[in-house]
């Protein structure tokens, strides 16, 4: 794959560009004017505090976000709106978001509702946000304890990806991002997946190789979101692993990071697909090695089975009598599948949760 400087995304809201840059702080400094308001992950702020204080010299010109699920609750937005108004945010203000997926969700949704829509720019700082969530237009907000139940579509005007931020990520953060990279490669078929499997261990050692897979993953996702930006048909395959993953996140009180929950969810979906005879189990067998490698042992995780099944039942794709999942079909490609909500299905789930994942209630 040749060197890529940018990727253009076609959107109903206006086309936007992903730019790959070396020095993100120089670009932030260029953006730091009276017409820009910064929303920053507080962990990223602490890591690069000197640089941010140089870029932002007005104490009221930024908002720090603790990157937790609680922070992206709808109930928090009156505070965010008040902070923006007190900071003199106007219709011509450009919101500059710096952080991972939680900062992205907050910034995008906030930008979409203040003054009926502000422009916004995004600097994704986690592997997960760089390789997956930064494109696609979706905003996902929690409400009344239900994950991602509120949201809309509101893409950035521009976004900048720098591999510099990957240097400070923990092993858990890297694995979380790799969960989404594994998912998109599996969606595109076993040949793409096998290439990733060959390179998997090297991704922890080579930032250049990791950047190549970030770009490759975005190009794969671009094809789906440009065909189906509003998640009505072809794009639904991107939910592969997510119904089970979101339920695991909720049932462990978010002790399992999102991308790792997606790896668990893909493994789960493959298992269900095999058990209900959508295929002969070859996908489960082919993918189990890399998925198991990407799922670390997370200490002191308490699993709540009731919350798990309640979360599954509230998935936006469900009908009154059935769960709707994205499961690997007979050829291994994920497809939209209806599964009866009955005791047999729940017993299959329990087998996987307690025997394969070894979760403890």
Residue pLDDT, tens place only, 235-252: 999 999 999 999 999 999
What does the buried/exposed string (b/e) look like for 159-194 if buried means 16 or more CB atoms within 10 Å of the residue's CB?
bbbbbebbeebeeebbbbbbbbbbbbbbbbebeebe
Tell me how far apart the terminal alpha carbons of the chain are, to the nearest angstrom: 46
- Yes or no: say if 312 and 269 are a contact pair by the CB < 8 Å rule: no
Q: In the 8-state DSSP scheme, what is residue 236?
A: G
The pLDDT score that the predictor gives to residue 299 is 72
Q: Which of 55-69, 101-115, 160-174 has the lowest mean pLDDT?
A: 55-69
From the number of C-beta atoms within 10 Å of its C-beta (0-12, 13-18, 19+), residue 210 rates as buried
Give me the domains of the chain, ranges plus CATH numbers: 6-166 (3.40.50.1970), 171-356 (1.20.1090.10)
The pLDDT score that the predictor gives to residue 60 is 64
Helices (H), strands (E): how many in the chain?
14, 11
Distances 80 to 97, 110, 201 between C-alpha atoms, Å: 13, 8, 41
* E strand residue ranges, 166-250: none
CA distance 238 to 135: 12
CA distance 127 to 176: 8
The pLDDT score that the predictor gives to residue 213 is 98
Percentage with pLDDT > 90 across the chain:
86
pTM listed for this prediction: 0.95
Q: In the 8-state DSSP scheme, what is residue 352?
A: I
Section 280-284 average pLDDT: 92
Phi first, then psi: give them for residue 28, nearest 5 degrees.
-60, -40
């Amino acid at each position: 794959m040749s060197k890529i400087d940018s990727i253009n995304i076609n959107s109903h809201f206006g086309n936007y560009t992903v730019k790959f840059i070396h020095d993100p702080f120089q670009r932030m400094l260029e953006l730091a004017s009276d017409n820009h308001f910064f929303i920053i992950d507080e962990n990223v702020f602490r890591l690069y505090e000197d640089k941010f204080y140089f870029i932002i010299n007005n104490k009221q010109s930024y908002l720090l976000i603790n990157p937790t699920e609680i922070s992206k609750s709808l109930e928090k937005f009156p505070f965010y709106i008040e902070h923006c108004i007190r900071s003199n945010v106007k219709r011509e203000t450009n919101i500059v978001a710096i952080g991972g997926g939680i900062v992205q969700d907050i910034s995008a949704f906030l930008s979409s509702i203040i003054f009926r829509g502000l422009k916004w720019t995004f600097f994704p700082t986690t592997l997960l946000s760089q390789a997956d969530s930064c494109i696609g237009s979706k905003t996902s907000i929690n409400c009344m304890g239900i994950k991602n139940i509120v949201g809309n579509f509101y893409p950035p005007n521009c976004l900048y990806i720098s591999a510099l931020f990957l240097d400070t990520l923990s092993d858990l953060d890297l694995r979380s991002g790799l969960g989404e990279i594994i998912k998109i490669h599996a969606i595109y078929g076993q040949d793409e997946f096998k290439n990733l499997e060959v390179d998997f261990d090297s991704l922890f050692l080579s930032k250049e190789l990791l950047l190549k897979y970030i770009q490759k993953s975005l190009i794969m996702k671009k094809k789906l979101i440009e065909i189906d930006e509003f998640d009505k048909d072809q794009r639904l395959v991107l939910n592969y692993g997510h119904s089970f993953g979101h339920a695991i996140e909720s049932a462990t009180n978010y002790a399992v990071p999102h991308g790792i929950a997606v790896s668990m969810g893909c493994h789960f979906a493959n298992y269900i697909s095999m058990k209900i005879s959508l295929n002969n189990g070859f996908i489960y067998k082919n993918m189990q090695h890399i998925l198991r490698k990407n799922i670390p042992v997370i200490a002191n995780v308490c699993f709540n089975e009731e919350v798990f099944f309640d979360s599954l039942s509230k998935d936006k794709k469900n009908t009154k009598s059935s769960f709707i999942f994205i499961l690997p079909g007979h050829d291994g490609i994920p497809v939209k599948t209806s599964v009866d909500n009955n005791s047999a299905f729940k017993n299959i789930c329990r087998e996987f949760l307690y025997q394969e994942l070894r979760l403890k209630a």
